[in-house]
Amino acid sequence: MKNLYLRLFSRILLILLCCVAIIMITFFSQVFSYSERETRGVLKRDADRIAYTMALYFSDPSTPLDMLSNIVLSVTEESESQVMIVNSKSEILFRAGREHFEEIMSSYTYSSEETECIESEIIDRVIADGTYSEVGTLHGYYPFNVYTVGVPVFSYDQAAFYGVVLLSTQKDFLRGTASDIGFMGVISLALSLAIALVLAYFMTKRIVKPINDMSLAAKAFSRGDFSARVNIRGSDEIAALGRAFNEMALSLEKTENTRQQFITDVTHELKTPMTSISGFVDGILDGTIPPDRQKDYLLLVSDETRRLSRMVSQTLLASRLSSGEKELHLTEFDLGELLRRTFLGFEQLVDKKALACEVDIPDNPVTVRADEDAIVQVLYNLIDNAIKYAFFRGKLRLTLKKSGDKAAVEIYNTGNGIDKEELPFIFDRFYKADQSRGIDRESFGLGLYIVKAIINKHGENIRVESEKGVYCAFFFELPLA
């Protein structure tokens, strides 16, 4: 069971790690994207400031260069960036960094062979798109990757294009903005993962524990101990499985108790007649029983032998029904006539108990499709029980009627009845409501089991209603032909 625990816990851990990895990748991607957008916005804002001053500088030659340099240097100081100002011919006019401002050309219209230039493609994109941004070396101008934003410089009336302002900052600088947020995110995720692992540990133990208890209980069952149960908490699927397991254990325990009781009963039932048979035969053989009495004792031996034969026959029939070996031979017959004939066979027993009988069977045939011999067994067992457990001078009622496409049979008697606690088990194999065998010493606890098995094999059900000390009634149906 430890292997199951480790497998379950490792899978939960793997799922948590995958979730954390996905969250971290998504989180850092979003943080980096946010930082990049913010950096681009800051650089564009600063570039627009410089472009505005450059427009003034180009349109009015008397504008002092110090004003431009002061603005450019303040921008480079704030954003730790590099500034390039180029004219419309891609020629670099000014270049600035932190604490330095360098004039490359004295006039934006002047050009020579020695002038530093940038790629004209950058100027074209600024004119076409109104802005420019990239992460790279600015077409090989820088030896390292930088983030660059460019804006155009127009005259105030937008009639003349003077050039472009380019602000660049190292790409590594972008990561700095996200580092603090990322650090807090990592700490939060680590704490969340730790808490999730602790919860997963206890949740896994909670899931595995009832399964482990079931395993221990199953091992106890294999040793013949059916008293083990699983402690159930909650109402989830595991709890439902535990309840089903306990119900199974209870059923197995009852079956085992019934089996042991059956063995005790069978042993008792076999011992008594066999002891009698052995004693009678020995008495005849050794002359203890005189010849004129031997016939009487042989009749007793015959009765005991027949009782043993019935017990063996019922046991074999119950075994064949439970294993599915007994096949039905379906025919069409009049169930009313069969019920009459079966009931007539109990005439002496009915008279002996002075029962008031009521037989309600239609005059017209009630033809069903079933196994006639098997239904005889059903009727015989039910009527025999009804007479056996009826009060002296009690009431016995047999009813047959059509109900839709079914033939419905009711066998009712006033008598001892059955306790409510015993009703769910009355059809179990080897179960006897009369545990003392005081009323029915002929019973082996198989009659009603056989009845239910036969009815179920026909695709129908049998049910019982009873009130202890008042009445008992059995109901079953068969399909009409």
Most confident of 190-194, 230-234, 296-300, 358-362: 358-362
pLDDT at 109: 44
**29-82 confidence digits (pLDDT tens):** 777 777 777 778 888 888 888 888 888 888 877 778 788 888 888 888 877 788
pLDDT computed for residue 408 by the predictor: 96
2-177: CATH topology: Beta-Lactamase (3.30.450)
Cα 380 from chain centroid?
47
- Tell which wins on pLDDT, 359 or 72: 359
pLDDT confidence of residue 434: 56
Share the mean pLDDT of the chain. 81
Q: Looking at domain 331-479, which CATH architecture does it have? A: 2-Layer Sandwich (3.30)
Give the per-residue pLDDT at 108. Answer: 43
How distant, in Å, are the alpha carbons of 49, 66, 69, 164, 246 from that of 73? 12, 10, 6, 17, 83
Report, as an integer, the average pLDDT of 260-278. 72
Mean pLDDT of the 180-205 span = 75
* Top-confidence range, 60-64, 93-97, 410-414: 410-414
User: Which segments within 43-99 are labelled E, that is strand?
Assistant: 82-87, 92-97
Using pLDDT thresholds of 50, 70 and 90, give the confidence band for residue 334.
Answer: very high
Beta strand pairing status for 331-334 and 367-370?
Answer: antiparallel
Does 23 score more than 90 pLDDT?
A: no
Residue 83 confidence (pLDDT) above 70: yes
* DSSP at 415: B
User: Do 2-177 and 331-479 show the same overall fold?
Assistant: no
pLDDT tier at 438 (50, 70, 90 boundaries)? very low
Quote the tokens at residue 170.
């190292």
State the pLDDT confidence band at 265, using cuts at 50, 70 and 90.
Answer: low
Closest C-alpha to 164, from 42, 47, 43: 47
Decide if pLDDT at 127 tops 90. no
Percent of all residues in the chain with a pLDDT value above 90, rounded to a whole number: 23
More confident residue, 325 or 117: 117
Q: Whole-angstrom Cα distance, residue 474 to residue 455?
A: 12
Q: How confident is the model at residue 479 (pLDDT cuts 50, 70, 90)?
A: very high
CATH class, range 237-323: mainly alpha
Residue 312 one-letter amino acid: V
Q: Answer for the pair 89, 112: CB distance below 8 angstroms, yes or no.
A: no
Cβ 269 vs Cβ 311: under 8 Å: yes
Check whether 332 has a pLDDT greater than 70: yes
Annotated domain spans of the chain: 2-177, 237-323, 331-479
Pick the residue with more confidence: 216 or 311? 216
For range 205-218, the mean pLDDT: 78
Query: Which pLDDT band holds residue 341 (cuts at 50, 70, 90)?
Result: very high
Q: How far apart are CA 140 and CA 217, in angstroms?
A: 76
Query: Residue type at 204?
Result: T
Q: What pLDDT does 401 receive?
A: 94
Cα-based torsion angle of the residue sequence 380, 383, 386, 387 in order, rounded to the nearest 10 degrees: -100
Q: Name the pLDDT band for 437 (thresholds 50, 70, 90).
A: very low
pLDDT > 90? residue 182: no
